[in-house]
Amino acid sequence: MIYFTAGESHGPQLTGIIEGFPAGLHLSIDRINQKLSERQKGYGRGYRQKIEKDQVKITSGVRHGITLGSPITLTIANIDHKHWSKIMNPIHRPNPDTNLREVKNPRPGHADLVGGMKYGHRDLRNVLERSSARETAMRVAIGAICTQLLNELGIRIAGYVRQIGSIEADSDQLLTPDQIERAINCNDLRIVNQDKVEAIHEFIDQTKKAGDTLGGIVRVIAENVPAGLGSYTSWNEKLDSKIAAAVIGINAFKGVSFGDGFDLGTKPGSQVMDPIYWDQDQGWYRSSDHLGGFEGGMTNGMPLIINAAMKPIPTLYKPLHSVAIDTKEEHKASIERSDVTAIVPASLVIEAVVAIELCKAILGTFDCASMDRLKKQYHDYCDELKNY
Ligand SMILES: Cc1cc2nc3c(=O)[nH]c(=O)nc-3n(C[C@H](O)[C@H](O)[C@H](O)COP(=O)(O)O)c2cc1C
Ligand SMILES: C=C(O[C@@H]1CC(C(=O)O)=C[C@@H](OP(=O)(O)O)[C@H]1O)C(=O)O
């Protein structure tokens, strides 16, 4: 399976194409739209989310709600485009007196300056329109389709917030089935510990008042993933490395770790390796999950635990020092309408990209032309592992 996304933030629409997806999956459009709606939520988002009402439209690869095995094309309209139809017209250049809302003062932390330097753009809007995380709406839609395939195989996956700036939203290590259940069923605010919500909102309000922004830490867990996805045989077959690349491919993500993460480097081996057990009912299992479900770049049958750090939003309403690209004069960075924090939507985006990578790994392991054959091969494989 491969996929592409295209589209500018204030252009007419986002487009996604998935190729190599099996025939025969009953697709729920409501479930895709539910994820899109959740991605728009979260305290601290900017005015744009009041304008948009993200809904997916499918124009190929699905018939009567069932996938055909042919390329699936998805689109999501940018409702805001109506306010930008001249500025962002793909074909026609507007009258010379139109205000093109050119961006000339690059924002530290955004793609503006380096994107302009690399592609030779003199209006940095040409950079920010595509570097904008508006694109993550499409990755969430594609992830929602992949999640439906994973669910069909019995795999469950959820992203949620662990930290917002200096405030800890959740500190559990998620080792017990109860804790995993709680995270997977956490409400659409993606903050498992609801007692913290008020303090978090207050903190976001204060940060906004100060013209500043916040990042945070999110976690994805995936449950009921069989052992043996990915491979130790070549570095580029390791599934943990593919997931790491997909996570760092999300706008503003700067760190990724598995299981106990960077703490692993501070502990002796006896506290880190997950002891091996076997019993008739469960087959092979571990008594702990410090390594987050990966050994040798392969899933080991334990829940996957993937942590990731998002830097604060780069656009500051109290802007930092910058330099105008034409005059080279000192200038405050441009201010574009912006979120104060996007950590809640980011937890949906990371869930989506992990679902996509898991789906790719499964489709790369089994025959993926038809769902029925995939399910049969998959369940046979799981039985074989149990009896190994
Ligand atoms: C869901 C989401 C929403 C974001 N919203 C904004 C925003 O409103 N303003 C902004 O400057 N950056 C925002 N960002 C971050 C920028 O898109 C990102 O920092 C920028 O593209 C530069 O890429 P890099 O941080 O990966 O280097 C957002 C990121 C995500 C994941
Ligand atoms: C549009 C979305 O996020 C945008 C991501 C973003 C950025 O620079 O990354 C900047 C803002 O764009 P705008 O200036 O149009 O408000 C966010 O709103 C979205 O998540 O749907």
Measure 377 CA to ligand 1 centroid, in angstroms. Answer: 40
Instruction: Give the nearest ligand 2 atom to 52 CA.
Output: 21
CATH number, domain containing residue 163 = 3.60.150.10
Ligand 2: residue of 130, 315, 339, 343 to mutate (most ligand atoms within 8 A of CB) is 339
Measure 159 CA to ligand 1 centroid, in angstroms. Answer: 18
Q: Which ligand is nearest to the CA of 138?
A: 2
Instruction: Give the nearest ligand 2 atom to 338 CA.
Output: 11
Which residues span the domain enclosing 257? 2-386
Whole-number Cα distances in Å, 170 to 157, 173, 197: 18, 9, 11
Q: What is the pLDDT of residue 176?
A: 72
312 among the known binding-site residues?
Answer: yes
Does residue 24 contact residue 371 with C-beta atoms inside 8 Å?
yes
365 among the known binding-site residues?
Answer: no
Sequence-separated (6 or more) residues with CB below 8 Å from residue 245: none
Closest CA to ligand 2's atom 17: 338
Single-letter amino acid code for the residue at 302: M
Measure 251 CA to ligand 1 centroid, in angstroms. Answer: 5
Q: Which string of b and e fits 44-69 if b means at least 16 CB within 10 Å?
A: bbbebbeebebebebeebbeeeebbb
Decide: 250 in ligand 1 pocket, CB within 6 A.
yes
Closest CA to ligand 2's atom 1: 134
Measure 250 CA to ligand 1 centroid, in angstroms. Answer: 9
Please state the φ and ψ torsions of residue 4, each to the nearest 5 degrees.
-130, 155
Does residue 234 contact residue 312 with C-beta atoms inside 8 Å?
no
Q: What is the pLDDT of residue 300?
A: 98
Q: What is the pLDDT of residue 187?
A: 63
Q: What is the pLDDT of residue 339?
A: 96
Q: What is the pLDDT of residue 273?
A: 98
Measure 12 CA to ligand 2 centroid, in angstroms. Answer: 15
Model-level ipTM above the cut of 0.95: yes
Closest CA to 340 of 143, 173, 182, 200: 200
Decide: 315 in ligand 1 pocket, CB within 6 A.
yes
Distance CA 43, CA 86 (A): 31
Decide: 338 in ligand 2 pocket, CB within 6 A.
yes
Q: What is the pLDDT of residue 192?
A: 76
Across the chain, what does the average pLDDT equal?
95
313 among the known binding-site residues?
Answer: yes
Q: Enter the pTM of the model.
A: 0.97
Length of the chain: 388
Measure 97 CA to ligand 1 centroid, in angstroms. Answer: 31
Q: What is the pLDDT of residue 188?
A: 60
39 among the known binding-site residues?
Answer: yes
Measure 253 CA to ligand 1 centroid, in angstroms. Answer: 9
As to burial, measured by CB atoms within 10 angstroms (0-12 exposed, 13-18 middle, 19+ buried), residue 41 is middle
Q: Which residues of the chain have pLDDT under 70?
A: 173-175, 187-188
Measure 316 CA to ligand 1 centroid, in angstroms. Answer: 12
Decide: 133 in ligand 2 pocket, CB within 6 A.
yes
Count of the separate structural domains present in the chain? 1
296 among the known binding-site residues?
Answer: yes
Q: What is the pLDDT of residue 369?
A: 95
Decide: 313 in ligand 1 pocket, CB within 6 A.
yes
Decide: 132 in ligand 2 pocket, CB within 6 A.
yes
Instruction: Give the nearest ligand 1 atom to 315 CA.
Output: 11
